[in-house]
Amino acid sequence: MDEYVKGPEPDRWHWSKSCKQYPRVVIYKRSNRPSSDLCDDCLDIERVALRKIAPV
């Protein structure tokens, strides 16, 4: 299960701990995916991971 975290404002929602922007101090936590304000780096990491497991 993914955990979505957000640091101090103006941070965005993160879920990949390998993200360079992952907050050191977590202000907000949630278990369901937010509908907006998602981290671009986390999205890129997720896309790469999905490509690796997708059938060719």
Whole-model pTM?
Answer: 0.86
Residues 4 and 29 sit within 8 Å (Cβ to Cβ): yes
Residue 24, exposed/middle/buried by CB under 10 A (0-12, 13-18, 19+)? exposed
Residue 56: pLDDT over 70? no
Predicted confidence at residue 26, as pLDDT, reads 97
Summarised one tens digit per residue, pLDDT across range 17-55 is: 999 999 999 999 999 999 999 999 999 999 999 988 766
